[in-house]
Amino acid sequence: MNILKNSSVSFKNIGGAILLVVFFCFCLLLIVVNADNITRGFRARSARKAANELLIKKAAELGLTYDSVVSDPAGAVGQPALWCLRKVAEQEMLYHGKEGKPVYITNPHRMRQNPIMHETCIDTLVTIRKLTLFDYSGARGFRLEAEFVDFP
């Protein structure tokens, strides 16, 4: 009595199973060999978050708003702030997405690309750099500059 005669086991099925196991082992080998490259971004992001944790706590304690910085620029310069910013141009951001409250980022090259940043505001950790006041023929204006630190 031949058991293999009526069963679905054939050399074709066994060969396919062997190829599947070899492919799985090859993929596993690629993951193990490249594990350092795969986790490098995660480790860098975790290290940045740990380094910025004190700044985030200080920003939360200070609770700086756009209006408080404009009213007391001397006390705000050099201080961290956690603001919701919406990008409108390379360097120009809007505080809470409001048109009348621009914030100029001094180091926009450090900001990673975020496709929804033009559509909505994103929590951003910044350090207040300076507030420049302009007076031109009786019209007054100002420019609030901040340095980008990270997206918490």
On whether the pTM is more than 0.85, the answer is no
pLDDT digits (tens, 9 = 90+) for 88-101: 888 889 999 888 89
CA dihedral 9, 15, 21, 23 (to 10 degrees): -150
Confidence of residue 134 (pLDDT cuts 50, 70, 90): confident
Domain with residue 87: its CATH number is 2.40.50
d(CA 148, CA 108): 7
Average pLDDT over residues 8-32: 84
Residue 3: inside a domain, yes or no?
A: no
For residue 53, what pLDDT is reported?
93
More confident residue, 128 or 17: 128
Residue 127: inside a domain, yes or no?
A: yes
69 Cβ contact partners less than 8 Å away, ≥ 6 residues apart: 76, 81, 128, 131, 144
The count of domains in the chain is 1
Domain extent for 77 = 38-150
